[in-house]
């Protein structure tokens, strides 16, 4: 594309940002949809998030994505926050508004679209959720909002899982999340479950790491969804498949959270053909 005086700017703030695939998503969409827009990553030092948001506003930046470690910290710098992002306590997308930015969380809607696209239901499901950090906390809220029957949240530190469970259960108005220690997975009732791997364990280059390796655990899993997308197939995914389940990685979640952000910034609807074209480019990155 040719950059000129009318080019709109979007970007990503976080630390680090050098590894990001988001420019591939947004610049490909802009090219396919004929938008005069460019997307660039902006590394932001600790303690300077508010300055970065104010500077972006002063420069007329159309929108920003926010990645670790600033998804919660950035909220204080915003003019307004969407109800879902407020409930989750994390923002990953800033949309320009009068006098500042409004914050959204497109991660969870991105995960929901990715799972729906693969034919993975949440409503009425019994779910095992590994982890209680920021990503897993957001997944727990999503499960409550989308009507899951029960979520067994397994975490190395029980009190962290208890804190998240209390928060989600209070917001949901029902006892949906059951907090447990990671090693107590054997106490989960017999049955077949959707398991979501919400920790960073197994992230490249630690490809052979996994939070639970016991075959008895994977016998309970009919479908495994790992939020990690690098490596392409995590050990968690391999173990799910070895025990007869289906397994998916987080690349389509990355794709759809980006697409939803792009739609918010540009007030457009991205077609499935454009979504598939971007996914093809992302997939090539791992071949």
Enzyme catalytic residues: 71
DSSP-assigned beta bridge partners for residue 196: 129, 225
Backbone φ and ψ for 131, nearest 5 degrees, come out as: 110, 160
Alpha-carbon gap, residue 43 to 27, rounded angstroms: 18
The secondary structure element, H or E, covering residue 132 is none
End-to-end CA distance of the chain: 26
For residue 130, give the 3-state DSSP assignment. strand
At 129, is the secondary structure helix, strand, or coil?
A: strand
CB count within 10 Å of CB 41 equals 18
36: helix, coil or strand? coil
Q: In the β-sheet with 100-104, what is the strand arrangement from edge to edge?
A: 37-43, 8-14, 63-66, 93-97, 100-104, 80-81
**Residue 139 to residue 145: CA distance in whole angstroms:** 10
Q: Are 71 and 18 in contact (CB under 8 A)?
A: no
Contact call for residues 186 and 173 (beta carbons, < 8 A): no
Rounded-to-5 percentages of helix, strand, coil across the chain: 40, 20, 35
CA-to-CA distance for 114 and 250, rounded, in angstroms? 8
Helices (H) and strands (E) in the chain, counts: 10, 12
């Amino acid at each position: 594309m040719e950059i000129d005086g009318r080019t709109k700017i979007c970007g990503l703030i976080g630390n680090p940002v050098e590894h990001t695939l988001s420019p591939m998503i947004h610049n490909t969409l802009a090219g396919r949809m004929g938008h005069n827009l460019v997307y660039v990553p902006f590394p932001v030092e600790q303690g300077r998030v508010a300055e970065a948001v104010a500077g972006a506003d002063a420069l007329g930046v159309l929108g920003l994505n926010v990645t670790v470690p600033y998804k919660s910290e950035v909220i204080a710098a915003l003019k307004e926050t969407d109800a879902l992002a407020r409930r989750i306590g994390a923002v990953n997308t800033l949309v320009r508004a009068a006098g500042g930015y409004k914050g959204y969380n497109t991660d969870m809607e991105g995960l929901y679209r990715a799972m729906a696209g693969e034919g993975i239901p949440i409503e009425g499901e019994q779910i095992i959720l590994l982890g209680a950090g920021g990503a897993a906390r957001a997944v727990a809220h999503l499960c409550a909002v989308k009507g899951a029957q029960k979520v067994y949240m397994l975490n190395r530190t029980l009190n962290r899982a208890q804190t998240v469970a209390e928060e989600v259960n209070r917001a949901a108005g029902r006892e949906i999340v059951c907090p447990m220690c990671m090693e107590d997975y054997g106490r989960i009732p017999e049955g077949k479950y959707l398991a979501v791997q919400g920790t960073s364990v197994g992230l490249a280059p630690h490809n052979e790491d996994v939070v639970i390796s016991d075959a008895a655990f994977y016998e309970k899993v009919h479908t495994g969804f790992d939020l990690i997308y690098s490596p392409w197939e995590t050990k968690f995914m391999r173990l799910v498949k070895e025990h007869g389940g289906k397994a998916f990685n987080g690349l389509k979640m990355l794709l759809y959270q980006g697409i939803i952000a792009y739609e918010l910034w540009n007030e457009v609807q991205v077609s499935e053909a454009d979504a598939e074209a971007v996914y093809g480019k992302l997939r090539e990155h791992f071949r």
